Each structure stands twice: as structure tokens, then as C-alpha cells.
Chains A and B, each alone.
Chain A
Amino acid sequence: MMHCKNVVLVVEDNALVRFLTCELFEAAGFVALQADGTLAAVHVLETRDDVGLVVSDLAMPSHHDGIALVELVRKRWRPVKLLVITGNLTASRCELPRDAHLFFKPFNDHVLLKAAEDLLQAA
């Protein structure tokens, strides 16, 4: 399965945050796809084979949905990279797979984009 080096799937239930985050990636030269939740995200991943990175909010609508999606991606789409964002400021790293990056809202856009670029460059 070929993964295009710059297709990003943004998974976020807040429409405005989702829109702005997609804009951020698009302005930086990525192709940004949207999903408003786990179901939509799975649909995209099942119908396209070029998604390189999933950028997902953890709490959609509950913390466990986000974790569930992350675990599902890890299990079914191994090569896809994971970048996790959360508004839950006390969320801990240990619930996540080791190679998933964790960011707190509001994230620093430069740091996020750099992390995304690094993740996609890596083999």
C-alpha cells in the first residue's frame, strides 16, 4: 500500500477546530482530509489508501472514543502515523501507543507542523 507523503486525516468533533486545523495543514502544503468522529475516520481509511498521518482529537465525544480510534488505526493500518491532540490537560501519555505524539490544546502550530513533517518523512 503506497502512502502519499503528505495526505493528512484530521479527526475532530468540533467543526470550527476541525476546519481551522485543516486550513493550517493545507496552508503548509499538505492535503487535509476531514472526519468528525471515529466512524467517519474509519470510512476514510477504508476507502483511501494514501493517508499518511492521522491527526486526532482524543475526546470525541468521550475520551475513550479517541483512544479507541488510535488503537484501531494502530491495529488495522500499521504504516499510518499518529498525532494525538487533547483538550484534557491532565491526559497522560501512557494510554497511547508509544509512537503516537501527544499535543495539548492549544497547540503551537509550528511545533505541530514540524512533528507532522518529521513523522511523514520517517520511513
Chain B
Amino acid sequence: MNQPAVIHSDGALALALALVGSSTLPTLLLDDQLVVLAASMSFGLDFDVDPISIRGTPFAEIAKGAWAKPQLIAMLKVTAAGYAEVNGYEVSLARSGQETRTIVVRAQKLMYGDGEPVRLMLSATDVTDARSTEQAKDALIREKAVLLQEIQHRVANSLQIIASILLQSARKVQSEEARGPLRDAHNRVMSIAEVQRQLAVSVSSAVPLRDYLSHLCESLSASMIQDHRRLAIEVRVDESIVGADASVSIGLIVTELVINALKHAFLDRRHGKIVVSYQARGEDWTLSVADDGVGIPTGRAAAKPGLGTGIVDALAKNLGAEISVANTRPGTMVSISRRAAVAGTIVKPLVSV
């Protein structure tokens, strides 16, 4: 019934030429002397030549020799001899009156029958626009990196200015009563600044808590403890890595509670230790600041009203956590705990009656 159509040699040639001619990839069919036998319409369009009249032209003479790159010609000759292929060879095509384009050339010898004339298939892809887009993208990425560094630098300077002004104001003020809040404000600014530094050096936008709280407590210790042999702050934190906002909140809570402890727990000036601890298990975590000082005087509520406690309450609520205060005899422990189960209950909407 259906037999494969036999294409006579003339028909075969006509088919081949038609195939080359209609190729969407800019293509040339060359003979063993690198003379053009056929060119695709797309080649004609892309490189401004007439695909019909170019037949019979040596490849090296197209566009007044613009394609005659010695290395490319040599490679095409080797390809025609059957020893190699041209696999993505890049040339800079410079034609008079036109801007230089970057062309990727591929060529292979067609294996279509023993004893048949040598035929080379050559394709030429203009990648100039794609390349310049890539370069523009790279330049943009570099620009953004520089911009980011500039912003970081400016943020660091701004924080430095704020911190220094607070300290300077504290120095200038006469009374200890007025100086205290300014120094506390300074410590709070430094705790936020430390989060910035952690974020800048971290790969993700998250903060390794142990690193952060250790640096924070070192800073607090340097600022607030006169005699390091008498008073020390110890940090016991697990491997938790926490998001930026939560870190800021945790850092501010620790700052407040440590400042409180330093102000109230060691009034009789004996030796003392403050322990800052954070442990997490799954979604649950507990942050605590404990001192071995005088403890809470009986009859007093958990903490004195004042800017300090207000912040801790607000931050704990923000974190979905609860505060508890325990008398540890000696000393006091303030714990902030988040239990996912409990937190879920807290945020459940009220049912209207």
C-alpha cells in the first residue's frame, strides 16, 4: 500500500536546499572549499545578505571578508576534512557601517552517504543583545551590592550618632536620677544595633541567639559593671536561630531585665551573678534572667512600674509569651515562656454572646 516515497536525486537536492532555506536558525550549507551552496532566509535577514545571490560565494568573502577569521576558517577546513566540529565558536563580526556583533558559530560535516560530496552545515547565532542584557544585569547586581553597603554604613553611622548623643547627654546631666534613663536608653539602642550587626554577617536574615546574647551581655557588662570580679553575667543559650523581629524583642527584654537586676539585686554590694538563659523545644521556648541577689522584698508586686516593665510586658505579649517571676532564694528569676498550645488559646477570638 503505502511505500516510502522515493525522492529522486534532483528532488533530494531541492529538498535539502529548501530545508536549509527555511531554517529558522541562520544557516549556511558549504562545500569542501567553504563555498556557500545555500543560505537560509534567516541568515539573509540577520546578516543583511541576499540568500539567493550569496550562492557560489566563498564563506571568507561574505560581507567583504567580515567572516574571514583565520582561526574560524582553519577550524572549518578541519571540520570539512571530517576531523572535528565547530561547537559554539565566538566571533566578533565587524562590518563597515554597522556596530560590531557577537556571533556564535557552529558547524559540522554532514554524514549522508559514502562517496557523496563534502557538505558542511554552519549556523550563526547573534548573541549580542543577550550578552549585553547579561552584562547589564551583572552591573545592576554589583550596583545594588554597593548601594546595600552604603546603606549599611549609613545605618551604622546613625546608630553611632544616636548612641553617642545619649551618652554625651548622660555625661552632661547633673543628677544621677536624670542620668540613669539616658544610660538605659543608650543600652537599648546598643541592643538593637547588635541585632543589625548579627543580621549583616548572617547568611539568612536570622540571628543566632547564642552569639547575639553573648555579645549583648558583654556590652552590658562593660557599660554597667564597675568591678568584674564582683559581678558577672553568664549566658546559657542553645543553638536556636531566630528571626530579626523576635531577636530585637528578646534582646530588649534581656537588656531591661539585666539592667533591673543590676539596679536592684545587688544593693549590699556582695558578689553576684546574673544568668541569662534561652532554651527552645519545637515551637516552645523559655527565656530567663536570674540573679542570686537580694530577692524580691515581700509584699511587692512582680516589678516596679516604670518604663522598664512596660517594655517587657509589651514585648512578651508581642512574642505571644507569658511572664513569671519566682523568688529563687537567693535571688530572683524572671521567665518569659512561650508555649505554642497556650499561645494559641490567647489569640483565639472572643465569642460574642
Residues of A that sit less than 8 Å from B by CB: 14, 16-17, 20-21, 23-24, 27, 59, 86-90, 104-111, 114
Residues of B that sit less than 8 Å from A by CB: 149, 152-157, 159-165, 167-168, 171, 189-190, 193, 196-197, 200-201, 219, 222-223
Q: Can you name 11 A-B residue pairings with CB atoms under 8 Å? A: A16-B161, A20-B165, A24-B167, A27-B168, A87-B156, A88-B149, A90-B201, A104-B197, A105-B160, A106-B164, A106-B193
Q: Which residues of B contact A20 (CB under 8 A)?
A: 160-161, 164-165, 168
Contacts known (A24-B167, A108-B219); A89 close to B152, Cβ less than 8 A:
yes
Residue among A105, A106, A107, A109 with the highest chain B CB neighbour number at 10 A: A106
Q: Which residues of A contact B171 (CB under 8 A)?
A: 27
B159 and A106: CB pair below 8 A?
Answer: yes
Contacts known (A89-B152, A106-B190); A111 close to B219, Cβ less than 8 A:
yes
Partner of A107, one of B160, B162, B196: B160
A108 and B160: CB pair below 8 A?
Answer: no
CB distance from A70 to the nearest CB of B (A): 17
Q: Which residues of B contact A108 (CB under 8 A)?
A: 190, 219, 222-223
Cα–Cα, bound, A65→B167 (Å): 29
Contacts known (A17-B161, A24-B167, A89-B197); A59 close to B189, Cβ less than 8 A:
no
Cα–Cα, bound, A108→B163 (Å): 9
Cα–Cα, bound, A83→B162 (Å): 21
Partner of A88, one of B153, B159, B190: B153
Cα–Cα, bound, A105→B156 (Å): 5
B222 and A114: CB pair below 8 A?
Answer: yes
Residue of B nearest to A28 (CB): B171
B222 and A17: CB pair below 8 A?
Answer: no
Q: Which residues of B contact A88 (CB under 8 A)?
A: 149, 152-153, 156
- Since A87-B152, A106-B163 are in contact, a sample of 11 more A-B pairs with Cβ atoms closer than 8 Å, ordered by chain A residue number, is A16-B161, A17-B161, A20-B164, A23-B164, A87-B156, A89-B200, A89-B201, A104-B156, A104-B197, A111-B222, A114-B222
Cα–Cα, bound, A111→B200 (Å): 21
Q: Which residues of A contact B155 (CB under 8 A)?
A: 87
Q: 4 tightest CB-CB pairs across the interface, nearest first?
A: A87-B156, A89-B200, A20-B164, A105-B156
A105 and B159: CB pair below 8 A?
Answer: yes
Contacts known (A88-B149, A88-B152, A89-B196); A24 close to B219, Cβ less than 8 A:
no
Residue of A nearest to B164 (CB): A20
